[in-house]
Amino acid sequence: MSLIETIERQESLLVFKSFDESAALDIGQRLIDLALSQKAPVVIDIRTSDRTLFHAALPGASPDNDHWARRKSNVTLRMHKASLRVGELNRARGRSVSAEIGLDPMDYADHGGSFPVRVEGTGVVAAITVSGLKSEEDHAMIVTVLEAYLGSG
């Protein structure tokens, strides 16, 4: 199975029945716990298209990680796909985030680490983002927590 197929499968399985501020807080705290256990210097961000629901910067994270989190979550919220999948699809097509495809690289980043919050019967309502590790590690941290949270791990 290719990386793109793996991510598509994760997106199809990791679907919420509902999602609200309490869920964002619970998932955010689980991400903090996992990141602290790994001594991961990350920023964790959970947001809708117009509102931040959860944000934390852990020891070792830099202000730049906040900007990466915003840019990666913008990709997820716009494309309704994990940012890692968008990046892999772009690379397979020989393109990148640029004015050529209508995306300003100052506002969008197709690197791994943002995952869509998809609600049954509704669609994508938010993005969960981790920034500070390698793309696939940021992505994997979110998937690990969502598998446990949604009981599909």
Q: Domain spans of the chain?
A: 3-150
pLDDT by residue, tens only, the chain of 153 residues: 899 999 999 999 999 999 999 999 999 999 999 999 999 999 999 999 999 999 999 999 999 999 999 999 999 999 999 999 999 999 999 998 888 888 899 999 999 999 999 999 999 999 999 999 999 999 999 999 999 999 964
Eight-class DSSP state of 21? H
Query: How far apart are the C-alpha atoms of 79 and 125, rounded to whole Å?
Result: 12
CATH top-level class for 3-150?
alpha beta
Give 113: exposed, middle or buried? Use CB within 10 Å, 0-12, 13-18, 19+: buried
Query: How far apart are the C-alpha atoms of 68 and 28, rounded to whole Å?
Result: 17
**pTM metric for this prediction:** 0.96
pLDDT number for residue 101 = 85
List residues bridging with 127 in a β-sheet. 47, 116
Query: How far apart are the C-alpha atoms of 93 and 83, rounded to whole Å?
Result: 15
pLDDT number for residue 73 = 98
